[in-house]
A = this chain, B = another copy of it.
Amino acid sequence: MSLRLALLALLTARPMTGFDVMGQFDESVGYLWHAPHTQIYPELRKLEALGLVEGVEVARGERGKKRIYSITDLGKTQLRDWMNEVDEPRRDRDPYRLKAAYFEWAEPESAYAQLAAHVVHYTAAEQLYRQMHDDILARRHPLLKQRLANIPADQHEAVVRFKAFAYSGLVRRARGEVDWAREGLALLESLHPDLKLSVDTARAGDTTSTT
């Protein structure tokens, strides 16, 4: 259901083509939910069949065409209903923790490399999420600006704060991942004091640390 929710929510900002949705899924909303175009196009068709969105075909140049989707009143009602549902938390599925639990089966060097990559990835992710968070609060984010333009000014504050709140959660998670992975690196170093230096060297040359 999350993909549908993401699509409907996105279309409340402005009408879009499937291609536009793709673009948003590569940035902004894409950090909250991502889907490839092979899932987006069919799903928009399904939403249209359900009457939740409406698509109109529009010419593009001489022969080209594109399909612009807007959310319908029914779609807004459905969105509101989904948003009001309390879905009980999903059972956790955690590939990182699963793998870490059995690190005794990996070479220490490779466990180290995995945790180092984790640090690199989530350090960059945290930066990115924090940037988004700040852009939202400052109302610099382009899609957010369009969204706000369509609704009364007295609701702007709530809309902005909710989005910032969501990103603050992403920042928090990313920071947690980094702290956790560092804890793991320290553990590996304490278990294999002899390997430490060689791996550290490998990491410096390997992972193209961006910080």
Contacts from A to B (Cβ < 8 Å):
2, 5-6, 9, 12, 29, 31-34, 79-80, 83-107, 110-111, 113-114, 117-118, 121-122, 125, 155, 157-159, 161-163, 165-170, 172-173, 176, 179-180, 183-184, 187, 191
Contact = CB atoms under 8 A, between A and B. Distances in A.
Given A32-B94, A176-B176, A89 B101 contact: no
Contacts of A161: 187, 191
Given A83-B99, A105-B79, A106-B83, A180 B158 contact: no
B191 A157 contact: yes
B183 A168 contact: yes
Contacts of A12: 102, 105
A174 to B, nearest CB: 9
Given A83-B106, A100-B169, A101-B9, A93 B180 contact: no
Given A12-B105, A100-B162, A165-B187, 18 more contacts: A5-B98, A29-B101, A32-B97, A33-B94, A83-B105, A84-B107, A90-B95, A92-B125, A97-B167, A98-B166, A101-B162, A102-B162, A103-B158, A104-B158, A158-B191, A161-B187, A169-B180, A172-B180
A76 to B, nearest CB: 8
A100 B168 CA distance: 11
B104 A155 contact: yes
B114 A34 contact: no
Contacts of A31: 92
A152 to B, nearest CB: 11
A124 to B, nearest CB: 10
Given A86-B113, A110-B83, A122-B89, A98 B165 contact: no
Contacts of A113: 86
Nearest to A100: B166
A86 B104 contact: no
A6 B98 contact: yes
A32 B98 contact: yes
